[in-house]
A and B are shown apart, each in its own frame.
Chain A
Amino acid sequence: MPLVLKKVSSEKIKMLKIEAIRRGISLSQAIEEAIELWVRLGGSSGVVEDEFRDDLFWEERKNEFIKKYYGKYIVIANGRIAGVFDTLNEVSKFLKEQGFRRRVLVVHVGVDKEGWVGEWWGGSIERISQ
Chain B
Amino acid sequence: MVGRIDRTYKPIDCYSYAKGVLNPYPVIKLKLYNLVSEVGEYSIAVDTGFEGSLLIPSDIYREYFLVGELPRSMWRLYKTLTGQVSMRVSRGFVEVAGMRIETYVETPLYGGFKFLIGRELLNKLRILLDGLDQRLCIVESI
Q: Which residues of A contact B (CB under 8 A)?
A: 18-19, 21-24, 52, 54-55, 58-59, 76, 88, 91-92, 95-96, 100-108, 112-130
Given contacts A96-B36, A127-B21, contact A118 B67 (CB under 8 A): no
Contacts of A114 in B (CB 8 A): 73-74
Number of A-B pairs, beta carbon distance below 8 Å: 125
Are A124 and B86 in contact (CB-based, < 8 A)? no
Are B74 and A120 in contact (CB-based, < 8 A)? no
| Closest A residue by C-beta to B91 | A106
Q: Which residues of B contact A (CB under 8 A)?
A: 20-22, 35-37, 45, 47, 49-52, 66-82, 84-86, 89, 91, 93, 102, 114, 116
Are B50 and A18 in contact (CB-based, < 8 A)? no
Contacts of A117 in B (CB 8 A): 76-79
Complex-state Cα separation, A7 to B98, whole angstroms: 57
Given contacts A95-B36, A95-B67, A122-B49, contact A21 B79 (CB under 8 A): no
Contacts of A54 in B (CB 8 A): 71
Complex-state Cα separation, A18 to B76, whole angstroms: 13
Listed from nearest, the 9 A-B pairs whose CB atoms lie closest are: A121-B49, A118-B51, A123-B80, A103-B66, A58-B71, A120-B78, A116-B76, A106-B68, A120-B80
| Closest A residue by C-beta to B116 | A124
Contacts of B35 in A (CB 8 A): 88, 91-92, 95-96, 106
| Closest B residue by C-beta to A15 | B72
Partner of B50, one of A21, A88, A124: A124
Give B28 Cβ to nearest chain A Cβ, in Å. Answer: 15
Contacts of B93 in A (CB 8 A): 88, 92
Are A92 and B36 in contact (CB-based, < 8 A)? yes
Contacts of B69 in A (CB 8 A): 103-106
Are A113 and B67 in contact (CB-based, < 8 A)? no
Complex-state Cα separation, A120 to B22, whole angstroms: 21
| Closest A residue by C-beta to B82 | A123
Complex-state Cα separation, A117 to B76, whole angstroms: 6
Are B81 and A121 in contact (CB-based, < 8 A)? yes
Contacts of B77 in A (CB 8 A): 22-24, 116-118
Complex-state Cα separation, A128 to B45, whole angstroms: 16
Partner of A120, one of B45, B73, B85: B85
Are A118 and B81 in contact (CB-based, < 8 A)? no
